[in-house]
Amino acid sequence: MRKLLNEELDRKSVEEFKLSSKTPIVIVLDNVRSLNNVGSAFRTADAFLVEAVYLCGITGQPPNKEIQKTALGATESVAWKYFENTLDAVAELKANNYVVYAIEQTETAIMLNNFIPSKKQHIAIVFGNEVKGVEQDVIDASEGVIEIPQIGTKHSLNISVSVGIVLWDLFLKLGS
Q: What is the DSSP letter of 107?
A: T
Confidence of residue 176 (pLDDT cuts 50, 70, 90): low
Handedness of CA 104, 130, 148, 156 (dihedral sign): negative
CA–CA separation, 55 vs 123, rounded Å? Answer: 16
Confidence of residue 109 (pLDDT cuts 50, 70, 90): very high
Q: Which amino acid is at 141?
A: A
Q: What are phi and psi of 9, to 5 degrees?
A: -85, -10
Confidence of residue 175 (pLDDT cuts 50, 70, 90): confident
Nearest to 55, CA basis, from 36, 82, 76, 77: 82
First vs last C-alpha separation in the chain: 28
Nearest to 105, CA basis, from 155, 142, 32: 155
* Average pLDDT over all residues of the chain: 96
Confidence of residue 151 (pLDDT cuts 50, 70, 90): very high
Domain boundaries along the sequence of the chain: 20-174
Q: What's this model's pTM, rounded to 2 decimal places?
A: 0.96
Tens of pLDDT, residue by residue over 45-86, are: 999 999 999 999 999 999 999 999 999 999 999 999 999 999
- 106 contacts 138 by C-beta, under 8 angstroms: no
The confidence score (pLDDT) of residue 135 equals 98
**CATH 3.30.499.10 fits domain 20-174:** no
What contacts 79, CB < 8 A, 6 or more positions away?
Answer: 18, 51, 52, 53
> What is the share, in percent, of the chain residues with pLDDT greater than 70?
99
